Amino acid sequence: MRTKAARQVRPFTLLAVLAVVAVGCGNEKAGNHDPEVRSSGSDAGSGTRARAVADAWDGSRAAELWRTGYYPMADAVQLPEGGFHSAADKRAYETQHFVLSGALPATPHDTGQVTWPSGKSVVLPLLSAQKAYTSLGGNSGDGPHLAVTGARLGEMTLVTSRGPATVPAWLFTLVGYDTPLRRVAVSPSRLPRPPITPVGRGPSGELWQIGRLAEMSGDGRSVKVKASHGACDDGPVVDVLETDGSVVLSASIVGEKDGPCTSQAILETVTVKLARKLGNRVLLDAFTGRPVPYGPPYGKSPSWS
């Protein structure tokens, strides 16, 4: 199945692995349109690569470790109930402008437990309140800021690669808010060594790297990922290969045109519909041969990546 991107265009600074060659020429189209889903056979090269990635992961030690670890697939921070009261507070959060106006508590113990509804759990090192606060930014420069007066250890529910889990969290008290800002208090499990190597540096033929996981639907039947393309094409598409143990995503671009073009990249949201819910299958990127990392809208990813 090939899924066309929703036209949510966002330029970004390109890493070497996603460098866009000067291909094609055309005009940028911005806006928010419903994603177009169409069926097609996968490109022979990307299809072969996707099958190789699936074969390497299915039944592997890496897949076994993945299914027993803690890998968050949602933002490590949960905002106060109802969100921020003003645009200034939202801006302060996005720019990581926090001011500590009270004392933070000591860490009560060394480890914390992540628990799933099945009763399975994993014990991980517990972050101190200070480290959790520092991860929020702690930038007290000019501009609007959020004042933190204290914190206590609690918990929060977070989507993970194994479904929703109850996770230890530091609950930070903010001036002007009745409910706390929550930040996960444990670090993710170590990512298992992938059983297959990446394609290489830069785009390989029509195969491109998936930028990150943006969102997973509540029913697990679709995911939204960020995929990149050049300034002079019709955008990215994502092919899907589903097996009993994995879901492999292969990103490519369509509509390339000959001629000079600016060397830039555009990141778009692609909604990928699955034949059945993701469940405990590993969501993989055909290009890297690794699980697709989660990343939040602002700041660095809190994920295992």
Q: What is the residue whose two structure tokens read 């000079």?
A: 260
* Whether 209 and 121 share a structural domain: no
pLDDT digits (tens, 9 = 90+) for 63-120: 999 999 999 888 899 999 999 999 999 999 988 899 998 899 999 999 999 999 999 9
With respect to residue 244, please indicate whether it lies within any of the assigned structural domains: yes
With respect to residue 297, please indicate whether it lies within any of the assigned structural domains: no
Domain count, the chain: 2
Q: Rounded mean pLDDT of 230-234?
A: 64
How many helices and strands (H and E) does the chain possess? 4, 15
pLDDT band at 305 (very low <50, low <70, confident <90, very high): very low
With respect to residue 292, please indicate whether it lies within any of the assigned structural domains: no
Where do the H-state alpha helices sit in the chain?
Answer: 44-57, 61-66, 87-94, 129-136
Closest among 205, 213, 269 to 237, alpha carbons compared: 269
Task: Look up the domain containing 264 and give its range.
Answer: 2-67+193-285
* Whether 63 and 96 share a structural domain: no
Distance of CA 114 to the CA centre of its chain: 20
Least confident residue range of 68-72, 152-156, 214-218? 214-218
With respect to residue 208, please indicate whether it lies within any of the assigned structural domains: yes
With respect to residue 291, please indicate whether it lies within any of the assigned structural domains: no
Give me the pLDDT at residue 233, please. Answer: 65
Which tokens in the block code for residue 80?
Answer: 């106060």
With respect to residue 294, please indicate whether it lies within any of the assigned structural domains: no
* Whether 97 and 163 share a structural domain: yes
pLDDT band at 1 (very low <50, low <70, confident <90, very high): low
Least confident residue range of 4-18, 123-137, 232-246, 285-299? 4-18
pLDDT digits (tens, 9 = 90+) for 29-67: 333 333 332 222 334 456 889 999 999 999 999 999 999
Give me the pLDDT at residue 259, please. Answer: 63
Residue 236 has pLDDT above 90, yes or no: no
* Whether 240 and 148 share a structural domain: no
* Whether 90 and 20 share a structural domain: no
* Whether 175 and 83 share a structural domain: yes
Which tokens in the block code for residue 11?
Answer: 């330029």
Where do the H-state alpha helices sit in 98-148?
Answer: 129-136
* pLDDT, mean over the chain: 79
Of 134, 164, 184, which residue constitutes the final position of a domain?
184
Instruction: Read off the CATH number of the domain in which 173 is found.
Output: 2.40.128
pTM, to two decimals: 0.75
With respect to residue 299, please indicate whether it lies within any of the assigned structural domains: no
* Whether 203 and 58 share a structural domain: yes
* Whether 85 and 160 share a structural domain: yes
Q: How far apart are CA 96 and CA 298, in angstroms?
A: 9
235: left (phi over 0), alpha (psi -120 to 50) or beta: left
* Whether 93 and 241 share a structural domain: no
pLDDT digits (tens, 9 = 90+) for 169-193: 999 999 999 999 999 999 889 888 9
Give me the pLDDT at residue 24, please. Answer: 31
